[in-house]
A and B are shown apart, each in its own frame.
Chain A
Amino acid sequence: EADIYQTPRYLVIGTGKKITLECSQTMGHDKMYWYQQDPGMELHLIHYSYGVNSTEKGDLSSESTVSRIRTEHFPLTLESARPSHTSQYLCASSERGWNTEAFFGQGTRLTVV
């Protein structure tokens, strides 16, 4: 069983609020990722990190930001939530190198009203 945790699992929040989605992994993985998942769509990479103090934007434009101050922690922040941010957010991690797979958390279902 993969040791990667996301909190909260479900969140309903009003427009304009600031929110932080938490993601932690206990596997010591260097690489971490945030994906956005909508029904019938592929998972879209919104942010990734190669290690501490490393963050990159993914293929999908996002108004969110991330930080990587500790290896195990990769939080995602929305400064001002909007209804268009309603989605499922999946955090993942992997070891450094080519031949590795991604391990996923259970996801956070975000609804902005």
Chain B
Amino acid sequence: AQSVTQPDIHITVSEGASLELRCNYSYGATPYLFWYVQSPGQGLQLLLKYFSGDTLVQGIKGFEAEFKRSQSSFNLRKPSVHWSDAAEYFCAVGASGNQFYFGTGTSLTVIP
């Protein structure tokens, strides 16, 4: 069965510090992987996606993620966090039938 695990429920970082949000997936075939961001009271916005090819993918707002098949991971990174990055982040896997399975999310707090 498909599943996504985001082990960190909440992360706090200082503005300007680097960030890594963890994501592990379980899927039998080649995964299609996504990171979304959700600001309070809003829907989900796509940050980046991995379908194939280069395992390091670049996204919007300076985010990047690296697909590691051996570790079943797709961690999100940003070298320098801005206060506006405070939000909820969701990792997702695209499965057969074009359904999407989401993790429970990681809430990011940025302190000045």
Contacts and interface: CB of A to CB of B under 8 A. Distances in A.
B43 A42 contact: no
A99 B99 contact: no
Contact of B42 (A92, A97, A102, A106): A106
A48 B51 contact: no
Contacts of B44: 90, 92, 102, 104
Nearest to B39: A106
Interface string B1-36: 000100001000000000000000000000010101
A79 interface: no
B90 to A, nearest CB: 7
Given A42-B4, A96-B98, A105 B90 contact: no
Contact of B99 (A4, A45, A104): A45
B98 A41 contact: no
Interface in B66-94: 90, 92, 94
Interface residues of A, number: 28
Contact of B46 (A40, A43, A101): A101
A6 B46 CA distance: 18
A53 interface: no
Interface string A72-104: 000000000000000000101010111111111
Q: Which of B34, B98, B103 has the most CB of A within 10 A?
A: B98
Nearest to B30: A98
Given A42-B103, A107-B42, A97 B98 contact: yes
Interface of B: 4, 9, 32, 34, 36, 41-46, 49, 51-52, 90, 92, 94, 98-105
Given A92-B44, A100-B98, 15 more contacts: A4-B43, A33-B99, A45-B99, A90-B43, A92-B43, A98-B32, A98-B98, A99-B32, A99-B51, A101-B34, A101-B94, A102-B46, A102-B92, A103-B46, A104-B44
Interface of A: 4, 6, 31, 33, 35, 40-43, 45, 48, 58, 90, 92, 94, 96-107, 109
